[in-house]
Amino acid sequence: MTVGSLLLLLLLGFLFIAAEIIFIPGTTIVGLIGALISVLSIALSFYYLPSNHAWLFTLASVLVSFGLGFVGLRSKTWKRFEVKSALTSKAPGQASNIQAGMTGKTTSRCNPIGQAEIQHQIHEVYALGDYLESGAEIQVERIENQYIYIKSIS
């Protein structure tokens, strides 16, 4: 086994560890396989290379590991992978044309949340009080933060 094949084996171990960290975090199996491949490459270096070369290979492996860990732990490294766009728009207001005092009819049961038809449009409503059956006559009590609060007329 040559130094090149040992380096490829070590690189494969590092790639498995990087895949564990970046693509499939939390599984630990891929990371453990990568660590085992890296340790195997170092062990094989002692078997196939002269002792002083094997120790240099081990030292280089440890230094590269620490270097990659240092670079990976810096916050600047991951800035290029961040999502820089943000959602700034809001959903259209449900209660934009609804006002307190309007009447309508529930289209589903309200316990306390349900649906009601107000001004020929279906809206999600919140019943103030008890359970309301489907088809109950309702009145809009108030609107707060785009939530329509209703009460039974009957």
Task: Compute how many other C-beta atoms are within 10 angstroms of the C-beta atom of residue 51.
Answer: 9
Q: What is the CATH number of the domain that holds 143?
A: 2.40.50.140
Question: Does 70 reside within a domain?
Answer: yes
In a domain, 91, yes or no: no
If one compares 53 and 91, the residue with the highest pLDDT of the two is: 53
- Assign 52 to helix, strand or coil: helix
Q: What pLDDT does 154 receive?
A: 73
Higher per-residue confidence, 86 vs 6: 6
Residue 115 has pLDDT above 90, yes or no: yes
For residues 68 and 7, state if they share a domain: yes
Phi, psi (deg, nearest 5) at residue 6: -65, -40
Q: Are residues 26 and 68 in the same domain?
A: yes
Percentage of the chain exceeding pLDDT 70: 95
Report which DSSP code applies to 112.
S
Residue 83 lies in a domain: no
Q: Are residues 70 and 30 in the same domain?
A: yes
Rounded to an integer, the average pLDDT of 104-114 is: 91
Asked if residue 96 belongs to a domain, the reply is: no
Strands 113-118 and 147-152: unpaired
Is residue 69 located within the same domain as residue 109?
no
> How far, in Å, CA of 84 to CA of 28, rounded?
29
Q: Are residues 9 and 70 in the same domain?
A: yes
pLDDT digits (tens, 9 = 90+) for 14-36: 999 888 888 887 778 988 999 99
> Per the confidence metrics, is the pTM higher than 0.75?
no
Provide the residue range defining the domain that includes 71: 3-75
Q: How many domains does the chain have?
A: 2
Q: What is the mean pLDDT of residues 143-152?
A: 88
The answer to whether position 58 is within a domain reads yes
Same domain, 107 and 71: no
Name the band, by pLDDT with cuts 50, 70 and 90, for residue 138.
Answer: very high
Same domain, 20 and 64: yes
The 10s digit of each residue's pLDDT in 58-98 is 999 999 989 888 887 887 777 877 788 887 765 555 556 88
The overall average pLDDT reported for the chain is: 86
In this structure, the answer to whether residues 7 and 71 fall within a common structural domain is yes
Do the domain assignments include residue 34? yes
Which residues are CB-contacts of 125 (< 8 A; sequence separation ≥ 6)? Answer: 106, 110, 113, 114, 115, 116, 118, 138, 148, 149, 150
Whether the pLDDT of residue 56 is over 90: the answer is yes
